[in-house]
Amino acid sequence: MLGLLGTTLILLVAFYYQFAHGELPCPLCLLQRAGFIAIGMGFLFNVRVGERGVHYAMVLVGSLVTGLISMRQVSLHLLPGDPGYGSTLFGLHFYTWSLIAALATVSYVALIFVAKDMASRRKKVLATAGNGRGARAAYLVFVVLIGANLLCTVLECGAGQCDDNPIHYLLLR
């Protein structure tokens, strides 16, 4: 549940900056959001239908893809004097935070595996708490964010390639 909530928070912050500050996501930013959606789906499946290795694999592959895309974007803005793209949060651009979050997610999953192994040695069964009201609210918010991300991407890019540095929604001009 913690992983799902963390991923949902990342997407909420991205949408806050998109709508409250008018910062449209670049193509690499959109790919990073898709990576976070994949990460969130893995956590969502774990919470909703039970923990499975394939769900954690989805989280790890999503983290790997997100991290690689983030590293690409970080590398584009390494030259001295390059102001970077978009706003910063606590002094770091969002693509840098995306790389940090992807690495933190891999570390988090590794800790989950260690904790599960330790628990199984003591014959404990880790319970899933995927049916409470809080869990249903988390599912709903996450699914709404997936739909909103898809809608905003279509409005920004239409059916073609997105602008490298978007300043307006293509379909809302």
Closest CA relative to residue 60, chosen from 107, 18, 13, 19? 107
pTM of the model: 0.75
Q: What secondary structure, in 3-state letters, does 12-50 show?
A: HHHHHHHHHCCCCCCHHHHHHHHHHHHHHHHHHHHHHHC
The beta-strand segments (E) located in the chain are 88-89, 92-93
Instruction: Look at residue 40 in the predicted model and tell me its pLDDT.
Output: 95
We report the CATH number of the domain holding residue 27 as: 1.20.1550
- Domain range for 158 is 2-172
At 67-117, the pLDDT tens digits run 999 999 999 988 888 888 888 889 899 999 999 999 999 999 999 989 888
Considering its fold, how many domains does the chain have in total? Answer: 1
